[in-house]
Structures are given as C-alpha cells and as structure tokens.
Amino acid sequence: MKLGEFANGLQHIGLPTNDMDATIAFYESLGFANIYETVNQAAKERVAFLRLGGLTIEAYENRQAAMRPGAIDHIAIDVKDVEGCYQEALGQGYTVVSNGIEALPFWEKGVKFFIILGPNQERIEFNQYL
C-alpha cells in the first residue's frame, strides 16, 4: 500500500514567521482570509491559518524563520486514517521525525499528525482532522 492511498489531498503548507502581524497583513493583501487563529500553548506560538481558494498556509510565530528562499517548513497532507497511515510509513521504512503520532487542539476537535523526512530533508506531515 502507498501512503497516498490514505490521502485526501493537500491540507496546508507550514510557514514559520518572526512577525505574525506582518505575515497576516501580507497574505491578506494577496487575497487570503485569516480563517482560524489560536495559540499553540505547548510551544507558546501564535498560529494562523490563511486560506485562498483551496490553498491553506499555517503560519506560526516561532521566531525561527529562515528569512531566505527555502523557508517553508513543511507540506501537510490531509489523511483520513492517521494511525493506519503511520503504520504504513513505519512499514515502508520512512524516517519519522515527530514523536510518533502527535496531537494539537486545533480546529473544533483537534488534529493528529506525524512527520517524515523526504529525500531532500523536506518535512512531510500527515494530518487528520478529528
């Protein structure tokens, strides 16, 4: 089985920022809407989800933005069964860089996710809305 069989499509692109207000203002000027904003209490980071059509950017203010090309942190794939997807990733021998399946209290019921590394050290997150 391929991990893509668990996928619904692109969920979001993760973008670290040093200045959330400037990031929100910039993407709103491009036509994005700030559809959900919260604070990740565990990381003490302000988080905003900005959407334009079918594209969502998860901006999080961790003050560690690279400030150079290649600054996107991760690509998140929306999945319908994160546990099954995780088992398949382990079985395929992918390098998991998250602490197994993790959870965050985002959206109405939270999310569960895990992250693997791609061949270019890119981070690919498999994320399920609960």
pTM equals 0.86
Rounded to whole angstroms, the Cα distance separating 117 from 80 reads 20
User: Over 90: is that where the pLDDT of 120 sits?
Assistant: no
pLDDT tens-place string over residues 12-55: 999 999 999 999 999 999 999 999 999 999 899 999 999 999 99
Per the model's pLDDT, the better-predicted residue between 120 and 59 turns out to be 59
Return the SS3 of 28.
helix
Domains of the chain: 3-129 (3.10.180.10)
